Amino acid sequence: MGTKKRDGCCKKFMKFLFSHVGLCAMVILYCVAGGFIFEHLEKNNEQQICYESRNEYTPMENKTIDSVLKIFSDYGFPNANNRVLMEVQIRSVLETFRDNTLAIGYDGRVCSDYGLPDGPTYKWSWPGALMFSVTVISTIGFGHIAPKTVWGRLVCIAYAVLGIPLMLLCLANIGDVLADIFRFIYAKICCCGCCRRKKSPRTKVVQIKPMQRGGDHDPAWKTDKSNEFSRLPTKSPTGSTDTNGNDKSRPPSKTSRPGSRVPSPVGKAVKIVPLDLKHMNRPPPMKNDPVVLDDDSDDDDDDLDEKKITVPLTITMIVIGGYIFGGAVLFGLWESWDWLQSAYFCFITLSTIGFGDVVPGTDFENPQAQAQLILGAIYVLFGMAILSMCFSLMQDEIIAKCKWVGEKLGILDKNDD
């Protein structure tokens, strides 16, 4: 008993897990868990990298200062004779310092102040790691941050291997559901109900007039003299017929019983099968009892009514453009980007290109940087679902158009899929 109950609970859990709500919950929890995992793996390493970069930068900075001072000590105060030579040497020293600084990647942060109110902000904070997790499983891959530790890279590979199929499965299911919802809204509102499918009833209720009862509750077929069976002539063995159904030449045998074989005039045995009078003696329906008859005449109509409503490509493109425009306005206000830069980021992100040259929340001096990263992650998740919906609608519309063209050209029949 306990095993059956356990199996039933497992089946219910698995059914919920792979439902639309369950898949969305799994993706969200997977991203949240990825944020905590990568934050734990890379946060401490970020500070350690800062210390290593500063240790490389400090000697190079001191060497650059010594080189500049040596130039001034060799040539003294710049004048008309030595000014050109001093400028060439100082410029060479500064260019070397610039290239080495860019190679090291140190930006002058105070590494000991990480995590303090006025100190530098971690790139691998939970919002930053959440944004990274979303870009990994959605195959966007901005590249603005990347794991540097051995364990971080190994976990990133395993995280992507499990997360990408989960994300694709969720987008496929959610996209189909949203497409059905959008078709319903389009049929009810945009088409003003003209695209509604008319369902023909599969059954018809017919009121049949009750039959007249004969005397002694006999069925009507027994008392009706005009019954068609009474009009059939009966042929006698000698060839004569009697319209009343009586055989004049040969009286019926008293020993004949149902199922017995009677010799026929031509020498063949005829088996007499008794009639089943149970159904014939059944009383007719009452006066107010309707009789329900199945009607299959609407099967052809159902095939016509089951046509899927397709949404025009223009409306689908308007939905995509509207979502990109809304994101452009939102990120333009948050990041102080111009409208072209904001729209460029939204398109590159939703199309999963992900150059990474424009990413929200990278200005870590901004106190709203963490909120912008969370907002960017939410925008990406919802945008991928809406884009999947639009792709599903566009696919149905293109298939419908191709089928229509094929029917016009005579390549396809109307009944062909």
pLDDT for 209: 52
Hey, do 2-176 and 185-199+305-409 end up sharing a CATH topology, with the first three levels equal?
yes
Token readout for 178 is 């949203």
pTM of the predicted structure, to 2 decimals:
0.67
Which CATH number, 1.10.10.10, 1.10.1040.10, 1.10.287.70, 3.20.20.70, labels domain 185-199+305-409? Answer: 1.10.287.70
**Contact of 174 with 23, CB cutoff 8 Å:** yes
pLDDT for 227: 45
Q: Where are the alpha helices (H) located in 238-312, listed in sequence order? A: 299-305
In sequence order, what are the beta bridge partners of 234?
242
Q: How far apart are CA 377 and CA 126, in angstroms?
A: 12
* Fold (topology level) of 2-176: Helix Hairpins (1.10.287)
For the chain, helix, strand, coil in percent to 5 are 60, 5, 35
- 3-class SS of residue 411: coil
pLDDT for 411: 84
Q: How far is CA 287 from CA 44, 207, 279, 319, in A?
A: 89, 9, 19, 60
- Across the 417 residues of the chain, what is the mean pLDDT of every consecutive 10-residue run? 68 72 92 96 92 93 93 85 89 94 88 86 92 95 92 96 94 90 85 51 50 50 46 48 46 47 48 50 52 46 52 92 95 90 94 91 80 91 93 90 87 73
* Radius of gyration for the chain, computed over Cα atoms and rounded to the nearest angstrom: 44
**Contact of 47 with 120, CB cutoff 8 Å:** no
pLDDT for 192: 60
pLDDT for 272: 53
pLDDT for 258: 47
**Contact of 42 with 129, CB cutoff 8 Å:** yes
Sequence spans of domains, the chain: 2-176, 185-199+305-409, 211-284
Token readout for 3 is 């095993």
pLDDT for 229: 44
pLDDT for 267: 47
Closest alpha carbon to 377 in 37, 28, 43, 26: 28
